[in-house]
Amino acid sequence: MSNARGDTDLINLYQASMKSDWDKFFLEGEGALPSYWDYWEDFSNSWRVPIQFIQPIGLDSPRHFESLEPLLSKLDSSIEVIVPPTDWLHITWVHIGFLMATDIMWSQVETFYVNASPRLRRVAPFSIELSGVSVDDKGVVYVGVYDSGAYRGARKQARNGVPKVYEVLRDSKEFIDGQDMFVPKLPIGHLSGEGNRQNLLRLLEDWRTVEFTTIQLTHLQMARVPIMPHDHYASLDVVAQIEMRGENYREGYHN
Question: How do residues 87-102 score in pLDDT, each as one tens digit?
Answer: 999 999 999 999 999 9
DSSP letter for 138, please: T
pTM: 0.93
Answer yes or no: is pLDDT of 2 > 50.
Answer: no
Nearest one of 127, 143, 149, 150 to 67, comparing CA atoms: 143
Q: What average pLDDT does the segment 57-81 reach?
A: 96
How far is residue 121's CA from residue 246's CA, in Å, rounded to a whole number? 6
How far is residue 125's CA from residue 246's CA, in Å, rounded to a whole number? 7
Could you tell me the residue range of the domain that residue 55 belongs to? 3-207
Domains held by the chain: number: 1
Q: What is the pLDDT of residue 43?
A: 97
91 located within any domain: yes
Answer yes or no: is pLDDT of 171 > 70.
Answer: yes
Helix, strand, coil percent values for the chain (each to nearest 5): 40, 25, 35
Return the minimum-mean-pLDDT range out of 16-20, 42-46, 248-252: 248-252
Answer yes or no: is pLDDT of 3 > 60.
Answer: no
How far is residue 153's CA from residue 162's CA, in Å, rounded to a whole number? 14
Answer yes or no: is pLDDT of 55 > 50.
Answer: yes
218 located within any domain: no
36 located within any domain: yes
Q: What is the pLDDT of residue 177?
A: 87
How far is residue 16's CA from residue 25's CA, in Å, rounded to a whole number? 14
DSSP letter for 123, please: S
Q: What is the CATH number of the domain that holds 151?
A: 3.90.1140
244 located within any domain: no
115 located within any domain: yes
Residues 6+ apart with CB under 8 A from 235: 87, 88, 226
Question: How do residues 199-214 score in pLDDT, each as one tens digit?
Answer: 999 999 999 999 999 9
Helices (H) and strands (E) in the chain, counts: 8, 11
Answer yes or no: is pLDDT of 249 > 70.
Answer: no
Question: How do residues 116-146 score in pLDDT, each as one tens digit?
Answer: 999 999 999 999 999 999 999 999 999 999 9
H-helix or E-strand spanning residue 185: strand 185-191
Residues 6+ apart with CB under 8 A from 69: none
228 located within any domain: no
Coil/strand/helix, residue 209: coil
